[in-house]
Amino acid sequence: MPDWDTMRALLAGIPVLPGAPCKGRSDLFERTIGEHRAAGRLTTTEIDTARHEALRLCHDRCPALDACRAYLQALPIAHRPRGVVAGLVITSNGVPMKTGGVIAGQVVKRP
């Protein structure tokens, strides 16, 4: 049985982020999580392609990037979501990749 009090508190802490192009794109951002590959669901190429597209959405036109980044940085490392968040590739230990990641054969630099 879910702990609804904990779930409610977690959901209440997520900012609204008006105009964020990631809204409604959970399918894309879920594919940026490298752990899915271990289960045989995605190839490295599929993960890289998803990360490239997600990072492009964040960096090319997101009016909420600063607020999203502030939200991410305020979270304890252990509670940070994995994959592309706030224009960064967050690893399984909750920290951004040092280079921002290698996406489609290109090194993506962190802003």
Write the CA distances from 3 to 10, 64, 75, 82, 99, integer angstroms.
11, 30, 20, 22, 37
Q: Is residue 8 part of a domain?
A: no
The whole-chain average pLDDT of the chain stands at 83
Count how many Cα atoms sit within 13 Å of the Cα of residue 37 in the half-sphere of its side chain. 12
Give residue 103's pLDDT: 45
- What spatial distance separates the first Cα and last Cα of the chain, rounded to whole Å? 41
Q: Is residue 32 part of a domain?
A: yes
Per the structure, how many domains does the chain have?
Answer: 1
| 28-46 residue pLDDT tens | 999 999 765 556 678 889 9
Residues 6+ apart with CB under 8 A from 110: 87, 88, 96, 99, 100
Q: Is residue 1 part of a domain?
A: no
Q: Is residue 57 part of a domain?
A: yes
Count how many Cα atoms sit within 13 Å of the Cα of residue 34 in the half-sphere of its side chain. 13
Say what the pTM is: 0.76
Q: Is residue 11 part of a domain?
A: no
CB 47 within 8 A of CB 36: yes
Query: What is the domain extent for residue 54?
Result: 21-107
Q: Is residue 35 part of a domain?
A: yes
